[in-house]
Amino acid sequence: MESLPCLFLDWAKRRPSLEQIHRDKRFPGHEYAYNDPNCLAIILHDWAGDVWLDGRHHALARRTVSLVPVGVRRVFRPREAGWHRVVNFAGLHVTEPVFLALGPDFDRLCRIYDESLSCFGSERSRAELKAWELLWELADVADLGEGAGASSHLVRRVLGAISLRLSQEITVGGLAKELGVSHAHLCRIFRRELGISVVAHLRNRRMDLARHLLTRTTQPVREVAAVCGIPDAQHFNKTVRRSFGCSPSALRRRAFPAQGGAETVT
């Protein structure tokens, strides 16, 4: 299996369909059995206990995420009470179970999960967007777990800042100042670890968001531009054309042909 950071990044870039998301409380002295025959299960465990996956035992620590392959029967026996958060995406697969300790990042990832859960029934596209954000964040956390100390921590802080402020003005110089490093050092470390510049990563994240909003929602294009952190109409149009080979309206028409697309940003 490829490394966890690469796996999560690949999943996030594919923007998989969100099939189900649910949260339940778990209590000691009870046994909980499940089997998802069609979807991989990504589970955030806020409790310690034991799990049996197709009969094989694993000790489970609090603040852990687990990936359970499609079709694997899982039986949980908590030793303490806590929340059990499950998200299912279509088309994602692992060949064996994976357990990743999240530590202090657990609460932040749970907040993203809970935001997705809160709008799953009423705003499916928004719920899906937050679920993809969860995949991006898991890639960052996994990278720190496998990574190279201070440098990985710096890159992770940059990725986190970009994710949190995607709709705001972001400059590399501003990030460097905020993180207490030089502009050149930040650019060098980021490119060395991720193989891409900070500016290119920021543009890719914004265009991922733009494509989602243009093809999954009917939100006005001007609002999409603002949410993506590119409020200037001409700049937004130019960036979308460079990324997808067409205007925002043309990109939307592909998804909503019966509506004749949507307005251009002027």
pLDDT tens-digit readout, 235-259: 999 999 999 999 999 999 887 775 5
Which residue blocks in 15-123 are alpha helix, DSSP H?
106-118
Tell which wins on pLDDT, 18 or 5.
18
pTM of the model: 0.60
**Are 109 and 134 spatial neighbours (Cβ–Cβ below 8 Å)?**
yes
- Rounded Cα distance between 262 and 220, Å, is 7
Query: Are 8 and 95 found together in one domain?
Result: yes
d(CA 210, CA 202): 12
Cross-strand pairs, 263: none
Q: How far is CA 71 from the centre of its chain?
A: 23
In a domain, 93, yes or no: yes
Domain of residue 164 covers: 147-255
Q: Are 93 and 70 in contact (CB under 8 A)?
A: yes
Average of per-residue pLDDT across 73-101 = 91
Mean pLDDT of 177-194: 86
For residue 92, tell me if it sits in a domain: yes
Residue 108 lies in a domain: no
Last residue of a domain, one of 86, 103, 120: 103
Mean local confidence (pLDDT), 72-78:
93
Q: With 90 as the cut, is the pLDDT of residue 205 above it?
A: no
Are both 96 and 160 inside the same structural domain? no
CB 151 within 8 A of CB 158: no
Mean pLDDT of the chain: 86
CA–CA dist 109, 154 (Å, integer): 19
Residue 241, pLDDT score: 95
Reduced to 3 states (helix: H, G, I; strand: E, B; else coil), residue 13 is helix
The answer to whether residue 131 sits within a structural domain is: no
Is 95 found in the same domain as 16? Answer: yes
Residue 66: helix, strand or coil by DSSP?
A: strand
Is 118 inside any structural domain? no
Of 55, 147, 129, 43, the closest CA to residue 94 belongs to 43
Whether 117 is covered by a domain: the verdict is no
Q: What is the CATH number of the domain that holds 10?
A: 2.60.120.10
Domain boundary among 88, 103, 118: 103
Q: Domain boundary residue among 103, 132, 161?
A: 103
Mean pLDDT value across residues 59-85: 91
Same-domain status, 99 and 151: no
Q: Which of 90, 102, 93 is nearest to 7 (CA)?
A: 93
| pLDDT given at position 2 | 59
Is the per-residue pLDDT at 137 higher than 90? no
Type of residue numbered 46: D
Examine residue 119 and state whether it is found in any structural domain, yes or no.
no
Q: Which pLDDT belongs to residue 44?
A: 96
CATH number of 230's domain: 1.10.10.60
Same domain? For 60 and 158 the reply is: no
Which helix (H) or strand (E) segment holds residue 53: the answer is: strand 49-53
Task: Count up the domains in the chain and report the number.
Answer: 2
Return d(Cα 131, Cα 143) in angstroms, integer.
Answer: 19
**pLDDT at 27 exceeding the cut of 70:** yes
Whether residue 71 contacts residue 27, with contact meaning beta carbons closer than 8 Å, is answered with: no
8 Å CB contact between 252 and 261: yes
Q: Within a domain: residue 140? A: no
The structure tokens 């799990």 sit at 51
184 and 89 within one domain: no
